[in-house]
Amino acid sequence: MDTKQYVNKKQLENKIDRNKTILKETFNKSQDYISREISLGNGKYKILINFFDGLADSKYINDFIIETILNHEKHILLNFIENGPEGVLNVFFNTAISSSSISKTKSLSEIYLNLIEGNTVIIFDGINEAFIVPTPGWKDRGVGETTVNNVIRGPRESFTETLRTNTALIRRRIKDESLCCEQIRIGNMTKTIVALMYLDGEVDENVLSLLKERLNKIDIKGILETGNIEEFITEEMYTPFPTAFNSERPDTVAANILEGKVAIVVDGTPFVLTVPALFSEFFTSADDYYNKWDISSAVRLLRYLAFFIALLGPSVYIALTTFHQEMIPTQLLMSLAAQREGVPFPAFVEALIMEATFEVIREAGLRMPKPLGQAISIVGALVIGQSAVEAGFVSAAMVIVVAITALSSIVFPAYNMAIPVRMLRFLMMSLAASFGLFGIAVGLFTLLIHLTSIRSFGVNYMIPYAPNSKYLLRDTLIRAPYKSFNKEIQNSNIKFKPIVLNTPRDSNDNEKN
């Protein structure tokens, strides 16, 4: 048979030389592909061992597979003579290989996938099946401290880029047999493993089925991060607000699972998605539940105040100085007028220049190497702000307003909530420059209508504000004492009961819960 006739086959053959040619032709341009042929009894019987260098644990392969086969050479040959290839398998699995799980397949596509995942593929002469031995040996980052979702009090563990490590970190916290972990592959070329973790009996089945349906419809070359999946599974395409929550903290994800939500763990990223997501969820931090309720409530109220400052700070300043000077105290108004005496731009252009400059400095600080990033951000802001005031481009009051606004946008525990606020800030500034406080009011009402219309997997985004739920309000603007929750919530240390829906877009049952 010509080589080209069986290189494109979908299944193995029972001739080891042909199978060896198929694999070598497939990976002929991959120098990290290792194919080791072991000849027993002067070539009477052959065994082919295949793996990728760097992905598989070469020490394990040498010590527990190759060396073990060589040590059992006489036994293998004797069984081959007496019982044929099937006798070799009996010796191989009963006495030779020491592995907790061995699978077998005839499919070449499954063989390729297992090789790329770091497993070892063993092919025997006379058998048209390959045997898969788990031997992953790549180096991972290891469990370290969180870098984004930092807390003052609480666990320091963070997710890693390894899927199995992340699922184990969640199982360490939820030691219950109802915790399920379903896996699917997404990506035509990357074939990324995506794990769905949820509590059977607590999760909303409508949300779970809707999530699976959307994941199965994803048709893309590769999934490299949870952000690739988030854009496909969320139903609200034309909103700047995030409708899926992400975190690098195992305790936060575990708490969300206990609430009845679904965690989406993607291999290759330390950030885990949880759905459905609520607006109030982005203002809560993990240490809110590790500190006293009164301290946590005060800090949470401060976050909501920072939200409005970050959104409306420059807009209110523009509206007051441009249209409503009578609302400013006389002494302060005279001080502002003196500062703006040499400024050639109106308040809107002045604020636009400073806001754009601060956004550039913020992005530069993020992209620069860590030792330089913080220095560039601090020094750049101070130097540019001071120089702009001295040069007469902006007033000192505007620098103060923009600085307070920038600091307020950093207060949010979830970074992806600060991004839409920064975007909408420029829109509110335009409305304030055009219509004053009336424009700001119109903008706020429009924003409120938009927020109440958003759904996350059929769940109202603004629960418990709209529809109102007195029970869930205990853990939104403030965190009520645990004693005020029922025993179920107190014992399981979760924030609120699971959301139950009859239909994907039904909100009446949410209000009842």
Q: Which two tokens stand for residue 104?
A: 């077998």
Same domain, 435 and 316: yes
Question: Does a structural domain hold residue 100?
Answer: yes
| Contact in structure between 134 and 169 (CB atoms under 8 Å) | no
Q: Are residues 110 and 179 in the same domain?
A: no
**Same domain, residue pair 225 and 310:** no
Residues 232 and 342 in one domain: no
Residue 464 lies inside a defined structural domain of this protein: no
Same domain, 192 and 232: yes
Contact 185, 194 (CB under 8 A): yes
- Is 264 a member of any domain? yes
Taking only the tens place, the pLDDT of each residue in 205-250 is 999 999 999 999 999 999 999 999 998 998 888 899 999 999 999 9
Do 213 and 109 lie in a common domain?
no
For residue 446, pLDDT over 90 is answered with yes
In terms of domains, do 284 and 307 share one?
A: no
Task: Judge contact between 498 and 259, C-beta under 8 A.
Answer: yes
The 10s digit of each residue's pLDDT in 480-502 is: 887 776 544 444 443 334 333 33
Residues 413 and 327 placed together within one structural domain of the fold: yes
User: Is 484 inside any structural domain?
Assistant: no
pLDDT band at 1 (very low <50, low <70, confident <90, very high): very low
Which of 114, 133, 152 marks a domain boundary?
133
pLDDT in tens, 366-376: 777 766 666 66
List of residues 6+ apart from 409 with CB closer than 8 A: 306, 310, 418, 421, 422
Task: Tell me, yes or no, whether 116 lies in a domain.
Answer: yes
Asked, for residue 149, whether it belongs to a domain, the answer is: no
For residue 324, what pLDDT is reported?
92
> pLDDT at residue 3 above 50?
no
Number of domains in the chain: 3
pTM: 0.84
Residue 466 falls inside a structural domain: no
Tell me, rounded to whole angstroms, the distance of Cα 45 from its chain centroid: 49
The whole domain housing 233 covers 163-288
Mean pLDDT of the chain: 84
Distance CA 393, CA 387 (A): 9
Q: Which of 453, 488, 507 is the last residue of a domain?
A: 453
Q: Are 266 and 320 part of one and the same domain?
A: no
Asked whether residue 153 is domain-assigned, the answer is no
Return the structure tokens found at 305: 């105040």
Q: 388 and 429 in contact (C-beta within 8 Å)?
A: no
> What is the distance between the alpha carbons of residues 205 and 198, in angstroms, rounded to a whole number?
10
Which ranges of 409-477 would DSSP assign to H, the alpha helix?
A: 415-435, 437-453
CA angle 98, 103, 105 (to 5 degrees): 140
Report d(CA 288, CA 177) in Å as an integer.
28
Cα distance between residue 300 and residue 412, in whole Å: 10
Residues 231 and 268 placed together within one structural domain of the fold: yes
* Residue of 294, 229, 297, 322 whose CA lies nearest to 476: 297
For residues 214 and 344, membership in a common domain is answered with no
Number of Cβ within 10 Å of residue 35's Cβ equals: 14
**From CA 73, how far away is CA 292, in angstroms rounded?**
67
Q: Please name the amino acid found at residue 443.
A: G
Query: Of 95, 117, 133, which residue sits at a domain end?
Result: 133
Q: Are residues 50 and 84 in the same domain?
A: yes
DSSP 76-120: HHHHHHHH-HHHHHHHIIIII---S--EEE-BHHHHHHHHHTT-E
Please give the single-letter amino acid code of residue 510. Answer: N
